[in-house]
Amino acid sequence: MRVTEALERDLGRTLDLRDVVTFTGTYPTKTVCALVECPGCLPPEAWGDDDLLRPEWQYVRPGEWLTEPERRHSQAIIEEEL
């Protein structure tokens, strides 16, 4: 609860505790960007040493990337559709 309350203070709004802690491996809000209402970005690992977007990230939209296992699964689905 204390972590959730600290996040709520920083964000200036109420959060669902289920978006902070999970015992089932799922969260009600799909992405962190949606949870904190940010416009979206890509994580640092999406960019190469040359500051160019890595090929495996080319179909991932800013703000809609997921955790690594979920991203690999999503990328496999995208590749199958192509």
The pLDDT score that the predictor gives to residue 22 is 87
35, 22 in Cβ contact below 8 A? no
- Within 1-82, strands assigned E span none
The whole-angstrom separation of Cα 10 and Cα 36 is 10
Q: pLDDT (tens digit, 9 = 90+) per residue, 3-60? A: 999 999 998 989 999 998 888 888 888 877 788 887 778 888 889 999 899 998 888 8
Amino acid at 58: Q
The pLDDT score that the predictor gives to residue 25 is 83
Q: What angle do CA 59, 63, 60 make, to 5 degrees?
A: 10
The whole-angstrom separation of Cα 82 and Cα 77 is 9
pLDDT confidence band for 80 (50 / 70 / 90):
low
Does the pTM surpass 0.75? The reply is no
Q: Nearest CA to 25 among 71, 77, 80, 67? A: 67
